[in-house]
A = this chain, B = another copy of it.
Amino acid sequence: MMMREGSIALGDVPLHAGGVLPEARLVWKSFGTLNADHSNAVLYPTSYGAQHTDLEWLIKADGILDPTRWFVIQVNQFGNGLSTSPSHLIDPAPAFTVSHVDNVRAQERLLRESFGIERLALVYGWSMGAQQAYHWAVMYPDGVARIAAVCGTACTSEHNRLFLMSLESALLADPAWNGRTFADVPERGFHTFARIYASWAASQEFYRRREYLKQGYTDLDDYLARAWEPFYRKRDALDHLAMLRTWMRNDVGVVMDGDTRMALKSIRAKTLVMPSTTDLYFTVDDCAAEAALIPGSQFRPLHSWLGHRAGNPVNSAVDTLAIRRAVDELLAT
């Protein structure tokens, strides 16, 4: 199977919220071969904090995305440390305010200019990846045939925004924050950040079962210190702030004068809406309300005790199989 990696230089990119991303660049990786009529292209954008390598696990012959049949392109969202991010810029502080409109516009250019792809068979996304999938469906109705939105919403809910505010506050509370940038790595801030994130991203049931003991951790403290903190510490704190702000402003309505309902009703892509039944921030209720507005959408909850991470790496063969079946059926339509 063919794998390729590369990036596209986009020049100075005007941002939806105002301002310009200077010399912007998107980093990508592809799996498999684009067929002659370009009908087998699948886009797989990244989720919060993740780079494409963190998310490759589901691309394999018996995986959720099969690269022997589909040409799968992973694309890194702005702010994730690979595509253009505050940590790359000499002066990152002034308004690095990327919205998914900017991510998706740049992705459309990448596909067209680098691959000659005018229409995707599928955008598959988990979490912030699902947000980008929804934006694709609204912004490029002719550019995407199907979207699979796993554990994510088209518009960030008020309670989810509050979670993000608590994470942002955790970083900005660190002594290293000087009101403009971080003078040093925010050690204390990351400590709090990881604990907030861990409490929301897994379910109550996950902790009730103490599964981490079976995974070799000695107790909850050990699990947080070795499993959660390192994942977030891998990224620059300014990049975290950028990704949090993209998530906060996630709303497909912004391309229709703020009318989120109209944007959802405009979707023509075949849409799979797949929340986890124990997801605490992209709740079943929130996802169901959005699915009800999307014409012909399939609402198919994932019955999992893994919370938001039901759709995430290596957690559960059962969950992975359920997602694969749903995506297989979507791709067969």
Interfacial residues, chain A to chain B (CB-CB below 8 A) = 157-159, 161-163, 165-166, 169-170, 172-175, 177, 188-189, 191-192, 195-196, 198-200, 202-208, 210, 220, 224, 280-281, 283, 285-286
Contact = CB atoms under 8 A, between A and B. Distances in A.
Given A158-B207, A159-B199, A159-B203, 17 more contacts: A157-B207, A159-B206, A159-B207, A159-B208, A162-B195, A162-B199, A162-B207, A166-B192, A170-B170, A170-B173, A172-B191, A173-B189, A173-B192, A192-B192, A204-B281, A208-B285, A208-B286
Q: Chain A contact residues: over half helix, strand or loop, or mixed?
A: helix
Contacts of A158: 207-208, 210, 220
A204 B170 contact: no
Nearest to A172: B188
A169 B192 CA distance: 5
A165 B228 CA distance: 14
Taking the full assembly, how many copies of this chain does it contain?
2
Contacts of A174: 173, 175, 188
26 contacts: A157-B204, A157-B208, A158-B207, A158-B210, A159-B199, A159-B202, A159-B203, A162-B195, A162-B199, A162-B220, A163-B199, A165-B220, A165-B224, A166-B196, A166-B199, A170-B170, A170-B173, A173-B188, A173-B191, A174-B188, A175-B175, A177-B188, A204-B281, A204-B285, A208-B286, A280-B280
A214 to B, nearest CB: 14
A9 to B, nearest CB: 38
Contacts of A195: 162, 165-166, 169
A323 to B, nearest CB: 23
